């Protein structure tokens, strides 16, 4: 397993060891001792699976008082995954990283609690998996609007497919 640090504190790209041959491949998608060595020690309490079509954009989501750490991966297709630092006390407040996760690179992204997270589907269809450190609470959810000029994310489309909820998310400055 290879761990790659990013420009955002605690956000990690994980490249699991993949064993492949003519039959296909095998990889460990989670191993608590190995992930603990990388600093991922929070317990996971909920697993989620979403399927989305090309240009669906989900996010940028977060929970106010019960923030979720997320270990995300893609088992089918490809996405552009985005993490935004929304902590006003952080030196990287308002900054973001983007990572392509897909079914060929098998990368995972660890997003500690306290970040906003979203993604846009690059392929015809994508299946995404999230391991979460806190339960989803719709009454606690907020986020940052996908096209906030202050965050300035280079999304792969100017006309994403958004939920009604995601079209109404606040701007970063409103979270201060």
Q: Check if 130 is active-site.
A: yes
Q: Which of 106, 129, 130, 136 is catalytic?
A: 130
Q: Is the peptide bond before 91 cis (omega within 30 degrees of 0)?
A: no
Q: Which of 49, 55, 61, 96 is catalytic?
A: 61
What are the phi and psi torsion angles at 125 (to 5°)?
A: -150, 150
DSSP run (H or E) holding 165 = helix 164-167
Distance from C-alpha of 43 to C-alpha of 163, rounded to nearest angstrom: 30
Share of the chain residues as helix, strand and coil, in percent rounded to the nearest 5: 10, 45, 45
Q: Check if 61 is active-site.
A: yes
Nearest to 121 by CA among 87, 78, 84: 78
Distance from C-alpha of 31 to C-alpha of 62, rounded to nearest angstrom: 25
Widest Cα–Cα separation across the chain: 53
Residues marked active site are found at 61, 130
């Amino acid at each position: 397993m290879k761990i790659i640090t990013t420009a955002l504190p605690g956000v990690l790209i994980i490249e699991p060891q993949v064993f492949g041959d003519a039959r296909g491949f095998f990889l460990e998608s989670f191993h608590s001792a190995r992930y603990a060595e990388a600093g991922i020690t929070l317990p996971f309490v909920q697993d989620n699976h979403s399927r989305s079509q090309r240009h669906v954009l989900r996010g940028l989501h977060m929970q106010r008082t019960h923030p979720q750490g997320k270990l995300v991966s893609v088992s089918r297709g490809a996405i552009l995954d985005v993490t935004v630092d929304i902590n006003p006390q952080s030196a990287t407040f308002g900054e973001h990283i983007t990572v392509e996760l897909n079914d060929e690179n098998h990368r995972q992204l660890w997003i500690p609690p306290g970040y906003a997270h979203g993604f846009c589907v690059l392929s015809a269809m994508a299946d995404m998996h999230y391991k979460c450190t806190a339960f989803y609470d719709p009454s606690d959810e907020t986020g940052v609007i996908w096209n906030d000029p202050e965050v300035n994310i280079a999304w792969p489309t100017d006309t994403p497919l958004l939920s009604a909820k995601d079209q109404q998310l606040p701007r970063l400055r409103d979270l201060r």
